Amino acid sequence: MTQVSNEPDRSIYGEFLLTELIDVDQLQTLMEKFTAATGTATALLDLKGNIHVASGWQDICTQFHRVHPESCKRCQESDVALANDLEKGGKYNIYRCLNGMVDVAIPVHVQGYHFANLFAGQFLSEKPDIEFFRRQALEYGFDEGGYLRALSKVPILKEEEVKLKLEYLSALATFLAGAGLDKMKLNKIMHELEDRVEERTRDLKEAQREALHMMEVAQDARQRAEQLNATLKGTMAELERSNKELQQFAYVASHDLQEPLRMVSSYVQLLQRRYQSKLDEEANEFIAFAVDGAERMQQLIQDLLAFSRVTTHGKPLEPTESGLVLDTALKNLEALLQESQAEVVRGEMPTVMADPGQLLQVLQNLIQNAVKFHGEKPPRVEVRAEPDDGQWVFAVKDNGVGIEPRYFERIFIIYQRLHSKTQYGGTGIGLAIVQKIVERHGGRVWVESIPGKGSTFYFTLSNGRTSDGV
């Protein structure tokens, strides 16, 4: 058998080293006790020939056969012969080496895997031939006396007896290796579990950091939202105050301007009546210009007053029969409709939540515009309403001159006109009033039009209660 080696190369069972499967120190102690009890020398070698456990080796081998180079080769030949037969699947192998000693080897398996070999050797199977050993001492230059004394210590054992002992040791080594394998597998599982726990812990810590970051971001966003909300409330309050002041100013200005304007208009008209025959044509024309300007100024002021009263004088919204409101509007426009020979077509009109007086203004302004801005054909006006997702969509359609798309928003701005006052009368505030009333009711107003073919004005009203004025 080979010398005990401390080389790092070791047999591997699967992914585990032999020394990781077996507690070498524990097995060494057990085999030493086994040798003391049976007198049998033993050793455990991995598949690369490295000795990991050895006990009870005979002096004849350690002090003589393994010392001389030539006799040591014979020992190595014995090791190779034993191992080769086991690699071929042999259950055990008995070999008599050229040095006269008998060695036995049995493979050690764990779960069907051959991972080591257990050796017992350095014994005799019968009484030794003294002359053979004397000739060998002479051949290799051994001290014959010491060599023969070492030979006398070599036990004479039956091969069957040695095989049974080796089977016992093999079973013991297999048991220890199996236990070691289970331990290694358990350790591997524990390591994998620890790695997974560590990885999961890192993930949780990272998630916790992200959550804390998100909480900080959310808190920062909430604080900024609160600041913006406070700023918005302040701005809204300031805007509401400003609007009230503007509405009050418009109301006061339009109301207070009417009296001096009426005085100017009255005296100019008085001049016209008294001195018209005494003045030349140019003077009478100047007076006519002054009268017309005063009247138009008075109309502008009245319209401005009406615009300011949309919010200041609006009444609470209530269920309103829009058909009855339409009847009133048509009656108020009866003279205009007859004069222009206008045709009005109406559909079924619903009940809506509205300020009846302001709804009358909306319908009357839209119908009046439809009649006023007619083309060569007699005006034809359609008024209808259709339900749409919790609200009513009103439509006032005409066959008039139409509007170019670029003016769709401009026409709702106060005092904005698309035609001269000589072509079409009015101050240009009617649609601004319509928009303001509809928005007060929580709706919206828009127009669709094709120049030369007519326009359709739409506005929406809720069929339920609104917060304004209720």
Domain check: are 17 and 154 in the same one?
yes
d(CA 74, CA 68): 10
Count of structural domains within the chain: 2
Asked whether residue 44 is domain-assigned, the answer is yes
Nearest to 13 by CA among 188, 195, 191: 188
Strands 318-321 and 351-354: antiparallel
Query: Per residue in 322-380, pLDDT tens?
Result: 999 999 999 988 898 899 888 999 999 999 999 888 898 889 889 988 888 777 788 99
Which of 193, 213, 232 is a domain's end point?
A: 193
Can you count the helices (H) and strands (E) in the chain? Answer: 12, 14
Nearest to 351 by CA among 328, 392, 317, 319: 319
CATH label of the domain that carries residue 402: 3.30.565.10
Average pLDDT over residues 135-164: 87
Asked whether residue 206 is domain-assigned, the answer is no
Asked whether residue 137 is domain-assigned, the answer is yes
Query: Per residue in 14-55, pLDDT tens?
Result: 445 667 777 788 888 888 888 888 778 888 887 777 888 888
d(CA 26, CA 55): 13
d(CA 136, CA 146): 13
d(CA 207, CA 42): 59
Question: b/e map of 442-467 (b: 16 or more CB within 10 Å)?
Answer: bbebebebeeeebbbbbbbbbeeeee
Query: Per residue in 280-320, pLDDT tens?
Result: 777 777 777 777 666 666 655 655 556 555 665 667 888 99
Asked whether residue 301 is domain-assigned, the answer is no
Average pLDDT over residues 406-426: 59
Res. 201: pLDDT tops 50: yes
d(CA 301, CA 250): 9
- The tokens describing 459, both together, are 């506005």
Domain check: are 188 and 48 in the same one?
yes
Alpha-carbon dihedral angle through residues 433, 435, 439, 441, given to the nearest 10 degrees: 70
Domain check: are 186 and 320 in the same one?
no
Roughly how many angstroms between the first and final C-alpha of the chain, as a whole number? Answer: 111
Domain check: are 324 and 458 in the same one?
yes
Query: Per residue in 8-18, pLDDT tens?
Result: 333 444 445 66
Asked whether residue 296 is domain-assigned, the answer is no
Query: Per residue in 219-271, pLDDT tens?
Result: 888 888 888 888 888 877 777 776 666 666 666 655 666 667 677 777 777 77
Asked whether residue 447 is domain-assigned, the answer is yes
Res. 394: pLDDT tops 90: yes
Which of 193, 221, 253 is a domain's end point?
A: 193
State the burial class of residue 331 (Cβ atoms within 10 Å of its Cβ: 0-12, 13-18, 19+): exposed
Bridge partners (DSSP) of residue 55 are 42
Domain that holds residue 445: 315-462
Helix, strand and coil in the chain, % to nearest 5: 55, 20, 25
**In residues, how long is the chain?**
470
Contacts of 272 (CB under 8 A, 6+ apart): 284, 287, 288, 291
Contacts of 243 (CB under 8 A, 6+ apart): none
Asked whether residue 241 is domain-assigned, the answer is no
d(CA 431, CA 447): 11
Which of 193, 209, 243 is a domain's end point?
A: 193
CATH label of the domain that carries residue 38: 3.30.450
Bridge partners (DSSP) of residue 381 are 344, 398
Asked whether residue 284 is domain-assigned, the answer is no
